[in-house]
């Protein structure tokens, strides 16, 4: 048993080293390297289908005032993001205070978000955060991490007799799908928060509004994070981290 575990761990280490050499890229916006075995373009194909299904099954809100605010604020944020292509914003009639982004520049905003978003500056904080995930290639990174994990398990348990690349290929589709569905890590959320603040400033919005959003969320949650936020940093942590980042950057 001990010897088998040792051999399995060795195989996993070898796989990790191979993947690290073959799929690491430096992201200047993050100041760190990322494991990217799949790119955003590949994910966009999967995401397009998921987005169309969401549009077909979810209830869409046509509230003219809210839709106009989302389009206006979103347009200002994406104009300074440096990301090419057209962005699509859809307002979903859902009481959960949430927003999300999927590859292909698709952003969903729930009507429930406006329980904690009262001003355009605060809305810019949320849209800036979602745009930050795109700039950071977080969807591709989490899909790549899942692919590496699955391929590693296959090789470590001796199921696959082929090479590393074959193992990666076997799990490419699964990795991409899970990459669209898995929640972002706390690290990803914190990175998107910081990028979002930078975008707010570039677009002419007040960065302190990002802190206000999480203060409002904290009040709404009464100290108990909702299910959608269970993998996110706590409201208290986000507030303190945002305050520190805004101060460090000298933003007013």
Catalytic residue set: 130
The whole-angstrom separation of Cα 54 and Cα 60 is 10
Spatial CB neighbours of 191, under 8 Å, sequence gap ≥ 6 = 30, 132, 136, 138
CB 218 within 8 A of CB 86: no
Q: At what angle do helices 40-57 and 138-156 cross, to 10 degrees?
A: 110
Residue from 18, 37, 221 nearest 147 by CA = 37
Beta strands in 71-142 (DSSP E): 88-92, 99-102, 106-110
Residue from 193, 208, 84, 97 nearest 138 by CA = 193
CA atoms within 13 A on the CB side of 78: 21
Locus of tokens 């208290």: 236
For 123-183, the three-class secondary structure string (H helix, E strand, C coil) is HHHHHHHHHHHHHCCHHHHHHHHHHHHHHHHHHHCCCCCCCHHHHHHHCHHHHHHHHHHCC
Handedness of CA 142, 76, 111, 189 (dihedral sign): positive
Pairing between strand 88-92 and 106-110? parallel
């Amino acid at each position: 048993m001990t010897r088998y575990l040792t051999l399995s761990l060795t195989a996993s280490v070898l796989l990790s080293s191979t993947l690290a050499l073959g799929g690491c890229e430096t992201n200047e916006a993050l100041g760190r390297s990322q494991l990217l075995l799949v790119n955003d373009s590949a994910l966009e194909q999967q995401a397009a289908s998921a987005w169309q299904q969401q549009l077909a099954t979810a209830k869409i809100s046509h509230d003219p005032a809210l839709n106009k605010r989302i389009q206006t604020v979103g347009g200002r944020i994406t104009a300074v993001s440096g990301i090419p292509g057209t962005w699509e914003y859809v307002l979903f009639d859902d009481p959960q205070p949430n927003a999300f982004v999927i590859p292909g520049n698709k952003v969903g905003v729930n009507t429930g978000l406006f329980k904690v978003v009262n001003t355009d500056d605060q809305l810019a904080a949320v849209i800036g955060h979602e745009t930050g995930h795109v700039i950071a290639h977080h969807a591709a990174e989490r899909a790549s991490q899942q692919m590496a994990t699955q391929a590693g398990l296959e090789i470590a348990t001796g199921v696959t007799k082929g090479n590393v690349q074959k193992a990666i290929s076997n799990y490419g589709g699964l990795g991409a799908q899970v990459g669209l569905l898995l929640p972002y890590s706390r690290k990803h959320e914190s990175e998107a928060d910081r990028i979002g603040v930078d975008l707010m400033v570039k677009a002419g919005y007040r960065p302190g509004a990002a802190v206000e959003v999480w203060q409002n969320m904290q009040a709404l949650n009464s100290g108990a994070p909702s299910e959608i936020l269970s993998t996110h940093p706590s409201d208290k942590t986000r507030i303190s981290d945002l305050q520190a980042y805004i101060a460090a950057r000298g933003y007013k």
